[in-house]
């Protein structure tokens, strides 16, 4: 099925949760990141009648308002990851500092903006050690890494998300969880999946700095203006954790996580 089902090792996480060693094909389309529209990338060509597995009721309602059908709300893969790795349930004993995620592009679209301005914003708001996690697209560019390294920040990447079933880092989310557990705060210049993930496990979140621009961003998503209008409480350098947890519980779909047997049934993973 659709190659995006394997992004970030999502199919591997769900297979492990369902008690399988390797992921068979998922029968349907799996939401792979926080999404303010129908749950999927713009232009996704859905095969008629195929299921769409999304994180939240809000995504389902928006999709149905656009004429899409066959939605199943199962919660974020991140929540299943936490079940698969109970050994990472608690923060590291030496957890400290901030893990910052600059907004990123991908193979088809680059981010346009000044990383130096992001450094200035980080220095304005953070007092402890800072780790900057670049998406692989930016990490492979030495000039971008140098901007953050020269500022004294630790610079990392969680790996390659994969594309067309190739080079997927099946441990991507595990690496992300380990890094988040080593910090006490998570921040980004845009509200994103990473901020939700960090807040969901108790890191104090923040959103600040130049949001940058995604090259040829499709207007159907509404851009940053829509995000700021819908969730102004999440657009501040220090978001109260109680506010963030209420938001992340809803958006990640905490109340919609299903059992291993239901995953096998939904995805047609039973013999």
Domain boundaries defined on the chain: 3-86+254-266, 89-252
Which one has a higher pLDDT value, 14 or 5?
Answer: 14
Q: What DSSP state is assigned to residue 36?
A: S
The pair of structure tokens assigned to 233 is: 């409480």
pLDDT at 254 over 90: yes
CB 214 within 8 A of CB 266: no
CA distance 133 to 175: 11
More confident residue, 167 or 21: 21
Q: Give pLDDT tens digits for 51-76.
A: 999 999 999 999 999 999 999 999 99
Q: For the chain, what is the mean pLDDT?
A: 92
Angle between helices 142-150 and 115-125 (to 10 degrees): 30
Q: What percent of the chain has pLDDT over 70?
A: 92
pLDDT tens digits along 199-210: 999 999 999 999
Confidence of residue 196 (pLDDT cuts 50, 70, 90): very high
Q: Which residues of 99-115 are buried (b: 16+ CB within 10 A; e: fewer)?
A: bbbbbbeeeeebbebeb
Average pLDDT, stretch 215-238?
Answer: 81
Q: Which of 143, 173, 162, 163 is nearest to 15 (CA)?
A: 173
Q: What is the mean pLDDT of residues 221-230?
A: 81
pLDDT at 266 over 70: yes
Over range 227-234, report the average pLDDT: 94
Residue 110 reports pLDDT greater than 70: no
Distance (Å, whole) CA 78 – CA 253? 10
pLDDT surpassing 60 at residue 108: no
Residue 218: per-residue pLDDT: 61
pLDDT at 215 over 80: no
Lowest mean pLDDT among 74-88, 176-190, 207-221, 246-260: 207-221
Query: Is the predicted pLDDT of residue 105 greater than 70, yes or no?
Result: no
Q: Regarding the domain delimited by 89-252, which CATH topology (the fold level of the hierarchy) does it fall under?
A: Rossmann fold (3.40.50)
3-state secondary structure at position 109: strand
What are the tens digits of pLDDT across the range 10-57?
A: 999 999 999 999 999 999 999 999 999 999 988 888 999 999 999 999
The mean per-residue pLDDT over the stretch 1-13 comes to 90
The predicted-structure confidence for 113-164, as pLDDT tens digits, reads as follows 899 999 999 999 999 999 999 998 889 899 999 999 999 999 999 998 766 6
Q: What is the pLDDT of residue 220?
A: 60
User: Which pLDDT belongs to residue 62?
Assistant: 95
């Amino acid at each position: 099925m659709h190659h995006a089902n394997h992004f970030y090792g999502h199919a591997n996480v769900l297979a492990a949760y369902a008690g399988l060693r390797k992921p068979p094909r998922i029968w349907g389309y799996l939401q792979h990141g926080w999404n303010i529209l129908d749950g999927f990338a713009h232009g996704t060509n859905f095969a008629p009648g195929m299921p769409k597995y999304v994180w939240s009721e809000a995504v389902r309602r928006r999709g149905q308002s656009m004429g899409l059908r066959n939605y199943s709300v199962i919660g974020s893969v991140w929540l299943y990851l936490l079940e698969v790795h109970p050994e990472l349930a608690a923060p590291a004993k030496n957890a400290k500092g901030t893990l910052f995620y600059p907004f990123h592009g991908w193979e088809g679209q680059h981010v346009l903006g000044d990383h130096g301005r992001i450094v200035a914003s980080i220095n304005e708001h953070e007092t402890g050690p800072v780790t900057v996690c670049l998406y692989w697209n930016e990490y492979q560019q030495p000039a971008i890494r140098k901007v953050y390294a020269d500022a004294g920040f630790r610079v990392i990447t969680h790996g390659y998300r994969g594309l067309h079933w190739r080079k997927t880092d099946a441990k991507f989310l595990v690496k992300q969880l380990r890094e988040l557990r080593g910090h006490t705060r998570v921040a980004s210049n845009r509200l994103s999946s990473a901020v939700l993930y960090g807040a969901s496990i108790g890191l104090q979140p923040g959103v600040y700095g130049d949001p940058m621009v995604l090259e040829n961003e499709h207007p159907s998503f509404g851009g940053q203006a829509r995000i700021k209008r819908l969730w102004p409480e999440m657009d501040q350098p220090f978001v109260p954790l109680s506010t963030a947890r209420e938001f992340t519980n809803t958006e990640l779909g905490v109340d919609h996580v299903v059992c291993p047997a239901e995953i096998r049934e939904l995805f047609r993973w039973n013999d």
